[in-house]
Structures are given as structure tokens and as C-alpha cells.
Amino acid sequence: MKILTTKQAAEMLSISVSTLRALVRAGEIAYVPRGVGTVRQHMGFDATDIEDFIKRSKVRLVPRVEPTHTPKTGSFLANRVARLAAKAARKTLK
């Protein structure tokens, strides 16, 4: 088990140290307390925890699915133009 420093773990994730600390505060990544920090606790990170976080964070895009229905009326833009024309016609009648 290799313990990484905060900077090494952030570099492994390609994020800043402050972002890494935010992930720790959110409970997304576990850390190992190191030393006796008085102002800011020193954190160590297990390399396997970082790798597990990467695996959990992977996103797979789903291919776009075409709609199975066709609109009964024209497109959104055509409907909008028709509504605006009807609104203008009502104004001229007043």
C-alpha cells in the first residue's frame, strides 16, 4: 500500500489540491491522517482509493435515441411564428 501526498493525489486526478480537499469534505475520497497538523490536517491518500474514485467517476455517454413519435403540428419554430402572427392579427383588429 503506497500513501500519496495531497499534491501527488491531486496530480493523479488532474485536479487542484483545493478541489481534492473539497472531495474529501464531501466524503467522495477517503484519506489517511498524517502527522499532527495544527492549522490544517495533513492528509495521505491510498493509491487504490484514488483508483477506485476514478472508476466510480467514469461516465459513459449513451447514444442519442431518436424520438419514437412525430409531432402532430409543425416544428417549435413554426408554431411560434404562427402564434406571433395570430397575436399581431388580434392587435390590428382592436
How many domains in the chain?
Answer: 1
Answer whether residue 64 is part of any domain: no
**Which 3 state secondary structure label does DSSP give 1?**
coil
| Domain boundaries, position 33 | 3-57
Task: Output the pTM of the full model.
Answer: 0.58
Check whether 1 has a pLDDT greater than 90: no
- Express each pLDDT in 30-59 by its tens digit: 999 887 767 777 899 999 999 999 998 888
Answer whether residue 76 is part of any domain: no
Answer whether residue 77 is part of any domain: no
- Rounded to whole angstroms, the Cα distance separating 43 from 79 reads 58
**Which 3 state secondary structure label does DSSP give 69?**
coil
- Rounded to whole angstroms, the Cα distance separating 15 from 72 reads 48
